[in-house]
Amino acid sequence: MEKNIFIQKKESGNNQIAESDWAERYLHGFQARKQEHELEKSRELIKQIDEAITIVQELANNYGVNAFRIRAEAFHPLPHEDFIKRFGGAEEFNLIALSNKFGIFLDINNAKRLDLNNFMSLVHEILHTASIQKFELTAKGEQSHLHQYRSGFRLVNLDKENQANEKFIGLNEGITQFLTKSAYVARVKNLPKFFEAVDELEKNLSNDDKETKVIFPPACRAYQWLEKLFLDLCEKIFEKNKDKFKNFDEVRSFFIKIYFNGDINEAAKLIMTLAPGALRELSAIKQFNDKESLEKIKKFRKKYGLPEDQ
């Protein structure tokens, strides 16, 4: 199985792709650096981090992908005030973890262990690090700069002023949420240490319903409308491409494989079977649920024949 992390080295006009073993080693070293005000991780927390990483690895393996394995050293717990200062607005979204090129930052109020909901937030963020990652490394004198230009479906170009132009963030979060839920159902829900928390979530379900229904913790439901958009998009693409796919599941898996390890152009071709303009409009959908973003999605659904989101 191929690895899914790439670093493009740019030095004095030369452009070379570093082999993936090197890229993996470089990123491990880069992410292991301590961040300002970083807190110590308890042994129990490290154990939980490793457990969450393994669950994500297994999930990627199910899609035939040997995903980049982030290490516990790449997790940086920060004091609450530092976390908020660094990732402003975090309170509003009730965010406890965030991943970027430095690894995963945690705002867990010095908790020694994670509860079910925080554990699922972690799974979500680890998925971002296990999806395909592409970087550009620019060496300028002593300084080197690492720019992440692809993470799953998310693409980031820098313009001349170094302003980031991001694409497919909404689609990327929709797929990440779908996979977070898959991990919950396949593994996390059945971990004995979370039995009590799962019972609490499902206390209003009848015994019959418990067989068929799942009540997800809030961290699995942060991007409901984007997950729905992703799934409805797959349904529509299946409808238009019955010569290429046997069923809806095949379309969904096709997108998930691209998220982990694939060529985004293959997905682009499929999206354009709806209409050529669909690609550009989808790429502009962000992860927010403000009025403007939701309006954009509503228009997209209407224009390309996706059902209305109830």
Please give the residue ranges that form the binding site for Zn ion (CB under 5 A).
173, 176
Per DSSP bridges, beta strands 75-77 and 103-106 are parallel
Q: How far is the CB of 219 from Zn ion (least distance, A)?
A: 10
Cβ closest to Zn ion, residue 133 vs residue 176: 176
Terminal C-alpha separation, the chain: 40
C-alpha 22/C-alpha 32 separation (Å) is: 15
- Contact present, 3 and 14 (Cβ < 8 Å): no
Closest approach, Cβ 121 to Zn ion, in A, equals: 9
| Residue 152 vs 278, nearer CB to Zn ion | 152
- Least Å distance, CB 176 to Zn ion, is 5
Whichever of 82 and 173 has its CB closer to Zn ion, that residue is 173
Q: Which residues contact 260 (CB under 8 A, 6 or more apart)?
A: 4, 60, 63, 65, 67, 130, 131, 132, 152
- Select 16 or 94, whichever has its Cβ closest to Zn ion: 94
For 74-92, b/e burial (b = at least 16 CB within 10 A) is bbbbbeeebbeeebeebee
Q: Is 135 or 259 the residue whose CB approaches Zn ion more closely?
A: 259
How near is the Cβ of 21 to Zn ion at its closest, in Å?
Answer: 27
* 10 SS3 class: strand
As a whole number of angstroms, the distance between CA 98 and CA 104 comes to 6
Nearest-approach distance from CB 223 to Zn ion, in angstroms: 7
Cβ distance to Zn ion smaller for residue 24 or 173: 173
Identity (one letter) of the amino acid at 208? D
Is the Cβ of residue 107 or residue 173 nearer to Zn ion in the bound state?
173
Q: Cβ(71)–Cβ(79) under 8 Å?
A: no
Alpha carbon distance 210, 146 (integer Å): 47
Whole-number minimum distance, CB 191 to Zn ion, in Å?
Answer: 22
Nearest distance in Å: CB 123, Zn ion: 11
H-run or E-run covering 150: strand 143-151
